[in-house]
Amino acid sequence: MADDLTQTLDHLRLGDRIMGALDRLKLKRVIDVLNHFPRGYNRRTTIGALKTGMTASVTGKVLNAATKAARRSRVKVTEVVLQDATGSIKAVFFNQPWIAGKLLPGLTVRVSGPVEYAYHAWTIKPTSFEINPAGQEPGLEPEYALTQGIESSELADLVSRLIHHADGIADPLPEKLAAGLRLMPVAEAYRQAHKPANDGALQAALLALKYREFFLLQAGLRLRRRSEAQDTGMLFHVDEDLRARALKYFPFEMTGAQKRVCAEIERDLSSPGRMHRLLQGDVGSGKTAVALYAALIALDNGYQAAFMAPTEVLARQHFRNLSEYLRKSKVRVDLLVGGMKKSDRDRLCDDLESGKTHIIVGTHALIEDYVKFRKLGLCVIDEQHKFGVNQRAALRAKGNRPHILAMSATPIPRTLSMTLYGALDVSIIDELPPGRSPVITEWVHRARQPACFERIRKELKDGGRAYFIYPLVNESDTLELKSAIEFAETLKNETFPEFRVGLVHGQMNAADKDKAMDMFRRGQLDILAATVVVEVGVDVPEANVMVIENAERFGLAQLHQLRGRVGRGKKQSWLFLFGDPHTEDAVKRLMVICKTTDGFKIAEEDLKMRGFGDFAGTRQSGLPKLHVGDFERDLGALERARQDAARWAAHIDEDRIRQCLELHYGRKYRLLDV
Ligand code: ADP
Ligand code: MG
């Protein structure tokens, strides 16, 4: 049966046009077509029975069709009037003038799309149409996500030809659980989702499919965790003596939150199973210090550690910080970034391979082929969401399944990370080191900018330093870059002539960037104007003012990360937001950022406003793309499936789960690489 499902579509003789389109939709096997569910359903009805806001499909005779250019724009609008026995409707097409030549008066045509009643008339904006359609009984008509070269009705036909294969799809649920939940059986759910008999059947089908999809993912996750949990290949020894020696390197006492996380990490490293932990905490909360503690445990056990960061600036900063912590130790820390001299690089790689280097810090360069470790025991991945699943896997492949500590300052909301990752493998630092006070954030109206500049002048005279962030939509756009440079010039010559102003932007080479940042860090510049390159990285405790121009262009997470660049020292810090938000969402974002400094609250708001699709942590979580479920809308079903997968663990047929995963997701199924 499963062979039928995984066979390709070649035997169907569909023709080049359709095969090409299916290829673009990544529908290669029978099961892929069955898992290509409609993105929506149109209600087939008569014009007289329409309700406004409905997505409908109506059939009528064409009365007339005409194209005209919309006033004051280059858009061409084609209007086609259709009539059935109950009324008439105007179908409006944009920039498809050829349609008027196709939908000729007298033809019978079906149009599908959202309908609206306005100015005493019905209009429809068709997402698809069909001339001389087959029988049109009332009911629900599937609408598929399409690509050029294939019509929705052609996909529906293809699904009809293949739907009998659904009888061969195994149910991942234990029989008793499926019976207890009274879920619609698998094959029936596939049939109803593609061609619903009525609303009730459709709802029941979607529920059954979603639940099974989530259950399968959760059961798969548990399987992998279990097999990893029995792995005793890399048990580290931790004792009181090691603990005391390691803590001596830190010139401060760890916060309560840091101590808690260190204990969690110790437990991971010294019990069977590889550590695969996600460490979340605001910028400056002391994640790096905790990561070094983990590295020291690895070193003491005879292993090496790697720190990978997404930018060179950040890698250099880690290198500097780690070197400073370890100044009085025999631990050797090295830095590897792109664009190094080959001779330097070769020497560095030799030392790494021979084990002379204990900790290597670097960028993506670490995953290049020429990098080899003697004995890699721990990978620390900073800003982990900036790396793809493959990059993270590539670093891990440099050792024999080393432990992983992934770090992120862009928190995934608690509810979500619990469900996706499980409560046990996420650590949170929710406490800042002592002596920091929250950054005061103000949204400054244009008219009040001069007053704001005065305030900044006072801070600068008082020994403070300021960032001016000027966001570019596109770092490689020369026009935009020019306006950023002009902005810096104005600051330097007009606004703050008495202070020293520097500029960093994305098109500068690394050395110049570093030089400017270094001058700012050392106090040779008072103001650093920057495009978003300071988003991650740079630690300048004296910087206590940040101004963000066009703040409305930033997302919440980004604004919050930027704010983390100030508030690192003893002085009160300020964030001033400039900008003219034109959308309600932009206004809301600025208000949220002014109201709270709690990263998790901000993440929850971000999730509410943007939805899950955009969400940094999940896009790259390694989860496969879902066929029916939606991580945002179906959080309830996801949570239930997670609980059920745990409760029914003893009854789960492991082979069947593996087969189902292979069938539905194939190689794409890389379980939660945190
Ligand atoms: P993160 O990696 O979360 O951004 P870091 O570990 O780089 O945070 O810490 C930020 C700054 O705070 C560093 O200068 C570090 O030396 C300092 N720091 C970290 N933990 C503490 C602590 N417990 N007490 C005082 N300072 C700390
Ligand atoms: Mg950091």
pLDDT in tens, 514-542: 888 889 989 999 999 998 666 445 678 89
Tell whether the model's pLDDT for residue 175 goes beyond 80: yes
Q: How far apart are CA 305 and CA 321, in angstroms?
A: 15
CA-nearest residue, atom 10 of ligand 1: 284
pLDDT at 511: 82
Q: Where are the beta strands (DSSP E) in 212-296?
A: 276-281
pLDDT, position 423: 54
Superfamily for domain range 440-596: P-loop containing nucleotide triphosphate hydrolases (3.40.50.300)
288 pLDDT above the threshold of 60: yes
40-140 and 440-596 share one CATH topology? no
The class (CATH top level) of 40-140 is mainly beta
Interhelix angle for 414-421 vs 635-647, to 10°?
Answer: 40
Confidence of residue 127 (pLDDT cuts 50, 70, 90): confident
Task: Supply the mean pLDDT for the chain.
Answer: 87
pLDDT in tens, 601-642: 887 787 777 654 444 444 444 556 788 887 767 878 888 888
Residue 646 has a pLDDT of: 86
Q: Which ligand is nearest to the CA of 322?
A: 1
Percentage of the chain beyond pLDDT 70 is 92
410 lines ligand 1 (CB under 6 A): no
Q: Tokens in use for 615? A: 């969400």
**Is 155's pLDDT higher than 70?**
yes
Which residues have C-beta within 8 Å of that of residue 226, sequence separation ≥ 6? none
pLDDT at 416: 64
Residue 156 has pLDDT above 50, yes or no: yes
pLDDT number for residue 674: 35
254-287 pLDDT, tens digit per residue, is 999 999 999 999 999 998 888 888 898 887 889 9
Question: Is there an atom of ligand 1 within 6 Å of 288 CB?
Answer: yes
CA atoms within 13 A on the CB side of 409: 26
Mutate to test the pocket of ligand 1, among 258, 261, 282, 287 (most ligand atoms within 8 A of CB): 287
Ligand 1 atom with least separation from CA of 289? 6
| Helix, strand or coil, per DSSP, at residue 279 | strand
d(CA 331, CA 156): 64
The residue with greater pLDDT, 607 or 90, is 90
pLDDT surpasses 50 at 102: yes
The percentage of residues in the chain with a pLDDT greater than 90, rounded to a whole number, is 53
Q: pLDDT grade, residue 671 (50/70/90)?
A: very low
Overall average pLDDT of the 127-155 stretch = 84
Task: Using the predicted structure, report yes or no on whether residue 389 has a pLDDT greater than 80.
Answer: no
CATH fold of 240-429: Rossmann fold (3.40.50)
At 517 the pLDDT is 86
Which of 249, 253, 255 most suits a substitution to test ligand 1, by most atoms within 8 Å of the C-beta? 255
Per-residue pLDDT, averaged over 455-464, amounts to: 95
Judge if the beta carbon of residue 286 lies within 6 A of ligand 1: yes
Query: Which amino acid residue places its CA nearest to atom 19 of ligand 1?
Result: 286
Cα–Cα distance for residue pair 277/236, rounded to 1 Å: 16
Instruction: Sketch the domain layout of the chain as residue ranges.
Output: 2-37+162-225, 40-140, 240-429, 440-596
Instruction: Tell me phi and psi for residue 139, to 5 degrees.
Output: 155, -165
Mean pLDDT of 571-592: 90
CA gap 291, 269 in Å, rounded: 13
Residue 233 phi, psi dihedral angles, 5° rounding: -70, -20
Output the pLDDT for position 231.
77
- Ligand 1 site, residue 317, Cβ cutoff 6 A: no
Q: Are strands 40-44 and 139-143 parallel, antiparallel or unpaired?
A: antiparallel
Q: Is 376 in the pocket of ligand 1 (CB under 6 A)?
A: no
Cα 13 to chain centroid distance, Å, stands at 39
Give the residues across from 44 on adjacent strands: 57, 139
Q: Does the CB atom of residue 255 touch ligand 1 within 6 A?
A: yes
19-39 burial by CB neighbour count: b if 16+ within 10 A, else e?
bebbeebebbbbbbbbbbbbe
- Per-residue confidence (pLDDT) for residue 669, from 0 to 100: 57
pTM beyond 0.85, yes or no = no
Is the per-residue pLDDT at 504 higher than 80?
Answer: yes
Window from 323-337, 339-353, 475-489, 618-632 with minimum mean pLDDT: 618-632
Q: Is the CB of 471 under 6 A from ligand 1?
A: no
**Which of 254, 288, 361 should be mutated for ligand 1, with most atoms under 8 A from CB?**
288
pLDDT for 667 equals 62
pLDDT for position 601: 83
pLDDT in tens, 32-79: 999 999 988 999 999 999 998 889 999 999 999 988 876 767 788 899
